[in-house]
């Protein structure tokens, strides 16, 4: 298997030098199955598990491998298995808070160059959801591209694109149809050798169909959307990295109805550049954009230059991030206690 096509760069080669004395070899995580991993390596596809030492030293989910990671392994080529001993530095990481009330990170994909935010151009097109995806994409370190799928089912394509442009400032928007082939060639520049793209979007957005189109054959199952509300049903059940025949890598992910934020303060400024720019013209530096005199944001709402829905979404995401920050501070304190407790036990042994 060609590791360079998978994204194994000269920089990665430098990172592995410290491991070479131990005869460890690089591989990339293609799938994760409850502690078991599918790896893509120079020997082809092999199965991997993490070492006992790595498991013992892990303090959080971030210390474990995720789909897209480059890892260093002790490979047993004749058996088609490997033991994972370490994760190489990540160039990007798309994360969300796990569903439910627990404050814990779920890593969706790592080492991605571009995030295709796939949204179907039907009744389920949701600008507020796109704002969330953009916010998290910017924070991940990857570049977002909005892919509007199923254009053949949409009667007012131009109108839909204009709506999305109001929340996707400066982000490329590509309209595609898997049925007619429209727009698919425009995705090619993002899928060159050594590049990695992650597909993100809600159920029924057309991600699995897009994977099949780009791969050239059916590698992902496809289900019909529900009648009545155009909402999708889950097809992909796990994250998976595919090496495309034409070059580059593609990570498909399950549809996510719940997309809770995870440490995205910088992404908030990037996603809401329009509001941030308006805020600079406010009379008071600490303006909350409510009823203060000389508020440029409220002025833009009154003139129609800024919609109430977008401003409400901005404030909601701000509150969500503030709450998450408080919860993470508590969790960090608990993790620090756990860390020193582990060190004390080791010293006593």
The reply, when asked if residue 154 is annotated as ligand binding, is: no
The reply, when asked if residue 206 is annotated as ligand binding, is: yes
The reply, when asked if residue 289 is annotated as ligand binding, is: yes
106-165 residue pLDDT tens? 788 999 999 999 999 876 788 888 888 888 888 888 999 999 999 988 889 999 999 999
92-107 residue pLDDT tens? 988 876 655 555 677 8
Who contacts 140 (Cβ-Cβ below 8 Å, separation ≥6)?
A: 92, 93, 94, 95, 112, 115
Higher pLDDT, 28 or 60: 28
The reply, when asked if residue 269 is annotated as ligand binding, is: no
- Residue 9: C-alpha distances to residues 3, 131, 204, 225 (Å): 9, 32, 35, 40
Average pLDDT over the chain, rounded to an integer: 82
The share of the chain scoring above pLDDT 70, in percent, equals 78
In the chain, where the domains are located? 10-87, 93-252, 272-346
CATH of the structural domain 93-252, one choice from 3.30.465.10, 3.40.50.300, 3.90.78.10, 3.10.180.10: 3.40.50.300
Mean pLDDT along residues 53-80: 92
The reply, when asked if residue 73 is annotated as ligand binding, is: no
Superfamily of segment(s) 272-346: Probable gtpase engc; domain 3 (1.10.40.50)
Instruction: Give the torsion through C-alpha atoms of 282, 287, 293, 297, to 10 deg.
Output: 50
The reply, when asked if residue 209 is annotated as ligand binding, is: yes
The reply, when asked if residue 35 is annotated as ligand binding, is: no
Band the pLDDT of 174: cuts 50, 70, 90.
Answer: very high
**Whole-model pTM over 0.85:** no
Mean pLDDT along residues 78-91: 95
What pLDDT does residue 229 have?
A: 47
Higher pLDDT, 256 or 179: 179
Higher pLDDT, 318 or 128: 128
Q: Are 236 and 204 in contact (CB under 8 A)?
A: no
The reply, when asked if residue 30 is annotated as ligand binding, is: no
The reply, when asked if residue 294 is annotated as ligand binding, is: no
Band the pLDDT of 68: cuts 50, 70, 90.
Answer: very high
- Supply the DSSP string of 93-127, one letter for each residue: EEEEEPSSS---EEEEEES-SEEEEEEESSTT--H
- Residue 62: C-alpha distances to residues 101, 106, 298 (Å): 19, 8, 40
The reply, when asked if residue 152 is annotated as ligand binding, is: yes
The reply, when asked if residue 327 is annotated as ligand binding, is: no
- Residue 238: C-alpha distances to residues 76, 132, 191 (Å): 26, 21, 21
The reply, when asked if residue 202 is annotated as ligand binding, is: yes
**Fold assignment, 10-87:** OB fold (Dihydrolipoamide Acetyltransferase, E2P) (2.40.50)
């Amino acid at each position: 298997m060609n590791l360079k096509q998978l994204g194994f760069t000269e920089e990665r080669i430098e990172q592995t030098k410290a491991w070479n004395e131990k005869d460890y070899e690089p591989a990339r995580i293609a799938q994760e199955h409850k502690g078991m991993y599918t790896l893509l390596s120079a020997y082809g596809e092999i199965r991997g598990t993490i070492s006992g030492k790595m498991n013992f030293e892990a303090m959080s989910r971030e210390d474990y491998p995720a789909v897209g990671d480059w890892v260093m392994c002790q490979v047993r080529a004749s058996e088609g298995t490997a033991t994972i001993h370490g994760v190489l530095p990540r160039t990007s990481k798309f994360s969300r808070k796990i569903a439910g009330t627990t404050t814990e990170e779920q890593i969706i994909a790592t080492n991605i160059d571009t995030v295709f935010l796939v949204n179907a151009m039907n009744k389920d097109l949701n600008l507020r959801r796109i704002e969330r995806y953009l916010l998290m994409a910017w924070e991940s370190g990857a570049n977002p591209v909005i892919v509007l799928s199923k254009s053949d089912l949409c009667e007012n394509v131009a109108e839909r694109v204009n709506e999305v442009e109001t929340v996707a400032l400066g982000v490329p928007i590509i309209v595609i149809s898997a049925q007619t082939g429209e727009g698919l060639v425009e995705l090619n520049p993002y899928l060159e050798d050594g590049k990695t793209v992650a597909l993100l979007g809600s159920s029924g957005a057309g991600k699995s169909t897009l994977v099949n189109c780009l791969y050239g054959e059916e590698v992902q199952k496809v289900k019909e959307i529900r009648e009545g509300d155009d909402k999708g049903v889950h097809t992909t059940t796990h994250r998976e990295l595919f090496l495309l025949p034409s070059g580059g890598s593609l990570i498909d992910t399950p549809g996510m109805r719940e997309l809770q934020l995870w440490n995205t303060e910088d992404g908030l400024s990037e996603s809401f550049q329009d509001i941030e720019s308006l805020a600079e013209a406010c009379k008071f530096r600490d303006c909350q954009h409510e009823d203060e005199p000389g508020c440029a944001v409220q002025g833009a709402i009154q003139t129609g230059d800024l919609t109430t829905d977008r401003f409400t979404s901005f404030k909601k995401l701000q509150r969500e991030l503030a709450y998450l920050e408080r919860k993470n501070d508590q969790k960090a304190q608990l993790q620090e206690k756990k860390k020193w407790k582990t060190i004390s036990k080791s010293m006593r042994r």
